[in-house]
Amino acid sequence: MAKYLILIYGDASEWGAMTEEQWVAHGAAHEKFAAAAGAKVLGGAELESSAVAATTLRTDSSSGRVTTTDGPFLETKEAVGGYYLLEAADLDEAIALAELLPEVHASHSGVEIRPVVQNG
């Protein structure tokens, strides 16, 4: 079985504007995903908004010192809002499960599936 990281992207302002009813439906869709994936979900979490709590580390090329900045490094409308670590037989199975996530079907969000490198 291979491992896949499912990164959930979206527009934080759109998530922030969701009604209570929309959040309930959103949560139900994540529960449907979790039920379908079962033990194949190895972990996952919603992330704090990058506008509220993100720290970026970079090495300054001229000084060689690590600099710390508040917020994400890239200015982008979409940010990572959560993730799942999934174990699946292959990419096709990971895609089939990820298609259950509500972010795939919303106009302001989407998911990225990345295979986890298995060293050793």
User: Which tens digit of pLDDT belongs to each residue from 42-97?
Assistant: 999 988 877 777 777 888 888 889 988 776 555 566 788 899 999 999 999 999 99
pLDDT at residue 39 in the model: 96
The string of DSSP codes covering 32-83 is HHHHHHGGGEEEEEEPPPTTTS-EEEEE-TTT--EEEEES-SS--SEEEEEE
Alpha-carbon distance of 6 to 82, in angstroms, equals 8
Q: Looking at the predicted structure, is the pLDDT value of residue 29 above 90?
A: yes
